Chains A and B, each alone.
Chain A
Amino acid sequence: MIDQSALDAMDGEIHAVVEAAVKFADDSPDPDPAELYADVLAD
């Protein structure tokens, strides 16, 4: 069975993973307005 300290470690690790993903998304640029209609209708 997994013990509490291992659970805490896993939780901390996952917390870091999620935070890193959010930071990566936040640091990414917003879509270019010129892309607004791209891939929406057949060219």
Chain B
Amino acid sequence: MLRRMLLIRRFEEKTGRRTRSARSAVSAISNIGQEAVAVGSLSALRDDDYAISSYREHGQALVAAFRRVPSWQSCSARRRAARRAKGGSMHLFDAGGASWAATASWAATYRSPPGSLSPSSIKAATRFCVCFFGEAAVNIGAFHEALTWRPCEAAVIFVCENNRYGMGTAFERVAAVTDVVEHACSYDMAAEMVDGMNVLTVYEVTRRAVERARKGGHPTCSRSAPTATWATPCRTPCTACIAPRTRSRAEEEGPDHAARREAKGKRK
């Protein structure tokens, strides 16, 4: 995992330098600071599972589907770009082996998981789709549509990479509920906090979510939160995970969530 995280970091440092010096033909969105989320979560999946990422996806791409060369080809818009795509680094897509894709449309990732999974794999819960999104993207309707869409239950793991800024806007300024994990209760999903800076924790939480899903639970939404990057200042860690529920709510949610609910009740 360390090797993968280091590869992402060095790749992104190089990408950043090249973009700033205008030696790459297209712009690139840095994954620096969020390596642990990409590596930890995708390490818990099998090769034939799906992953759908937002546009900050180089990390996931390097882990999940692409070797560094096609990624770099795409970043520099060269002829042998990954899958001959034209979109550059925000539109990496691999319909071949590992079935991984990114979409640059803001908050569009939610719509992809149901479409990427075949009915049989949903039913048998044999393949999973991890859907990455940023915390600011929960303000769009598609987020709520995806979470309430029951046919894909047990097959999708939602991972929120919470870096506290939607582009340059602090999440607190645009959201009434700033703890993304709170949204989970509206859709009967269990929730779990995860430190997005800790690759082992992210791995463990994703592994547990997949396990629960295999047993036949609800979709999983994990919210992880990175970090400090040079791209956007003031990013701070904080993380959570919403996992499928198969047993009692308290059991699945863990002591932290139960305690918070209790505290909330007392306030009322």
Contact = CB atoms under 8 A, between A and B. Distances in A.
Interface of A: 2, 10-11, 14-15, 17-19, 21-22, 24-26, 28-32, 39-40
A29 B69 contact: no
Contacts of B11: 18, 21
Q: Provide the main secondary structure of the chain A interface.
A: helix
Contacts of A22: 14, 18, 72
Contacts of A15: 10
Q: Provide the main secondary structure of the chain B interface.
A: helix
Contacts, number: 57
Contact of A21 (B71, B77, B79, B80): B71
A17 B9 CA distance: 12
Contacts of A40: 86
Given A10-B3, A39-B84, A18 B79 contact: no
A18 B2 contact: no
B2 A24 contact: no
A2 B79 contact: no
Contacts of A11: 6, 10
A41 B198 CA distance: 44
A14 B77 contact: no
